[in-house]
Amino acid sequence: MANRATWTSDSEDKKSVTFHVGDTIRVHYKLIEKEKVAGKTKREVKEETHERTQVYEGIVIGIKGVAENIMFTVRKIGVGAVGIERIFPIVSPWIRKIEIKKHGDVRRAKLYYLRDRTGKAATKINEATAAATPKEA
């Protein structure tokens, strides 16, 4: 099934998260930043590296690929109502954690129609509810 993906952490506890198209997720992504710092003399330049985790939160608008080649696209609305999309590989040492904030109830495998929407309509997806239990008579 192409509209669902399962991510498994690399740590010892081996947590796994299954998410679908339409879900609102938070991807904790490791970044390595390099910075040039002047040394004691004018000619001496040192490079320092810093490692930090960036949280990218948005709606999953598409999942494609098979087995370990699965890629998922996350779309968020940035500053100034600009849509930002980012494609993540499911098997990546850079992804620290994936959290599901909200399960979405959609009827499409790709939600590319959200690209044409602006404002609140761009993030509006019906929330999935638990299956209704039949009433006992």
Structure confidence by residue, pLDDT tens digits, 71-93: 999 999 888 888 899 999 999 88
Which pTM does this prediction carry?
Answer: 0.78
- Residue 88, classified by CB atoms within 10 Å of its CB into exposed (0-12), middle (13-18) or buried (19+), is buried
Task: For residues 52 and 43, give the distance between their C-alpha atoms in angstroms, rounded to a whole number.
Answer: 29
pLDDT band at residue 2, thresholds of 50, 70 and 90?
A: low
Structure confidence by residue, pLDDT tens digits, 106-126: 888 899 988 888 777 877 787
Instruction: Judge whether 9 and 15 are in contact, CB under 8 Å.
Output: yes
pLDDT band at residue 131, thresholds of 50, 70 and 90?
A: low
Structure confidence by residue, pLDDT tens digits, 54-72: 999 999 999 999 888 999 9
**Residues in Cβ contact with 63 at an 8 Å cutoff, skipping those fewer than 6 apart:** 2, 3, 4, 5, 20, 21, 70, 71, 72, 73, 109
Could you say which architecture CATH assigns to the domain 4-119? Roll (2.30)
Task: Please tell me the predicted confidence (pLDDT) of residue 132.
Answer: 47
Structure confidence by residue, pLDDT tens digits, 12-49: 677 788 999 999 999 999 999 888 887 777 777 888 88
**Residues in Cβ contact with 134 at an 8 Å cutoff, skipping those fewer than 6 apart:** none
Task: Please tell me the predicted confidence (pLDDT) of residue 114.
Answer: 87
**Residues in Cβ contact with 33 at an 8 Å cutoff, skipping those fewer than 6 apart:** 49, 50, 51, 52
Residue 128 has pLDDT above 80, yes or no: no
Task: Please tell me the predicted confidence (pLDDT) of residue 59.
Answer: 93
Task: Quote the tokens at residue 111.
Answer: 């939600």
